[in-house]
Structure 1
């Protein structure tokens, strides 16, 4: 005997609902199977704890349990009220993916929301509407109490420079020279590790002046480390990035003045005139004047 096809309840429910609300057809737009995003719903990062007997002492991971969802916002973005509900929805959906009922207990889930600045509006909303408080556990790490799923907010710009030097580089702040110096040293020791290379590439794109300032402090780098960094700078065409920055400034201040400002900054860092010429595209005679009078063109 053939097994009967499973009843398709959802389409029938939609039709019944339309009938129930037929008097309001002009006022209501009832849509079926609405795609929520342009691409499939996805979690930014999922961290599964493979060995429960190994204590996790890292400050950003103390909260971790068996399944840990991480939602990340770039420095250009922020964590909104809707983002909070979205990541909660993702977590609940993920919980239901087990092969058996309650195969993934909610007690084994955590959510980490990573953003550059403290989500003040969201924090005020959570306290006012849900009586949820964000309590500082470590610098830059806030725990959300009174939640069924353990939750924390990691604020990149407030994290410890000693303990979280890699994550702190994901910023446009101008106070991460110490972290950049550490990254350069470690890159010199791990040239084939793509993780360091990816971080340096980001720093070169977002904080190129700080990167060059640190490189100019030769006492901070051993010869082999400095050579590794120079190879990296050539690989990622740092001179072109500097030129783009100068041109971007030029749109606001006049193209020549923008290039001169960039050249003055590089000269102050102790860079060679040849490197400055490649970076800015300024002619040699202009650079010669700059070398003899670094304040040329300042207002």
Structure 2
């Protein structure tokens, strides 16, 4: 989603195939981008290297790009080239590899230089071209990308800074909340930075705005599950009990991120009938950094 947003200005020239199946089995690339017009040159910094077929592999913000990552992408490209009816239908020079990660891959670059005699050059800030390997390759280091040009991709990491990153994200997201592409991208960023939400004392209005949607989704999810359980217990209890159980489930969902919840604490939360108390507990759970912090704030 983030890559598609970054290249949205040239979307008419590109076709995005997510989790593209290369075989009838489980072999699939994270994303395959096909240039609709082979002669068109993508202007965006992350797409300048693109040729006709472009395989993209991502790593989670906490993972590193490795030699295995590279060979995995090479295998995808090889399968793509070999499964054509004509040998020259897809030439090696028609394919590029893009590896996206958050950490500079020193071991990978050292390996490529040693075993392939490859040259690694920084083409743009945060974008490194590898020449002389099996396929034309670029490595994108997200945290090194310019925040102005790559608003979304540069911020898909775990260490967002409130002043430098959050206002720009809030501005880029405003008005696009209902767009599935932007919603998916924001969910990835929010999930990667969930711990920031708990730093409530340092939180600015912009951060509240970003994380409010995730909180609401958690609340609604809890409400839905609570309603189902309430209805299963009988129409007599109705929607009110469903909402109370939903709030309780939302509190438990947040606390589970802090560790194993004692059964006694779980029972107290799920037996609470006061909606206002449950709402207070939900806020306390979001702000807590440990179960003990929550107990003190909730007076349990």
Which TM class, normalised by the smaller chain length?
Answer: 0.5 to 0.7
What is the aligned counterpart of 2:284 among 252, 269, 277?
277
Q: 1:211, 1:53 → 2: CA distance?
A: 46
SS in 2 for 1:102: coil
SS in 1 for 2:151: coil
Q: Cα offset for 1:72?
A: 1.4
Structure 2-normalised TM-score? 0.62
Q: 2:282, 2:31 → 1: CA distance?
A: 40
Task: Show CA shifts across 1:127-168 (max 9, x none).
Answer: 122211211111211111123521111112222212222123
Structure with higher RCO (Cα < 8 A, 6+ apart): 2
Counterpart contact for 1:201–1:236, Cα < 8 Å: no
Structure 2 partner of 1:193: 179
Q: 1:47, 1:283 → 2: CA distance?
A: 47
Structure 1 partner of 2:54: 68
1:217 maps onto 2:224 in alignment: no
**Residues 111 and 216 (structure 1), Cα distance of their counterparts in 2 relative to 1, 3 Å cut:** same
Structure 1-normalised TM-score? 0.63
Superposition pairs of residues 102-181 of structure 1, within 5 angstroms: 102-175=88-161, 178-181=164-167
Q: Cα offset for 1:274?
A: 7.5
Task: Show CA shifts across 1:26-72 (max 9, x none).
Answer: xxxxxxxxxxx9x5211111000013454311111100011101111
What is the aligned counterpart of 1:206 among 182, 192, 211?
192
SS in 1 for 2:85: coil
Q: 1:284, 1:129 → 2: CA distance?
A: 54
Superposition pairs of residues 9-20 of structure 1, within 5 angstroms: none
Q: Cα offset for 1:207?
A: 1.1
CA root-mean-square deviation: 3.8
SS in 2 for 1:44: strand
Q: 2:165, 2:85 → 1: CA distance?
A: 44
Superposition pairs of residues 234-253 of structure 1, within 5 angstroms: 234-237=216-219, 242-245=254-257, 247-248=258-259
Q: Cα offset for 1:75?
A: 2.4
Q: 2:293, 2:138 → 1: CA distance?
A: 53
SS in 2 for 1:98: coil
Counterpart contact for 1:168–1:179, Cα < 8 Å: no
> 5+ unaligned residues in a row in structure 1: which ranges?
1-36, 256-271, 290-299
Which structure is higher in strand share?
2
Q: 1:244, 1:206 → 2: CA distance?
A: 17
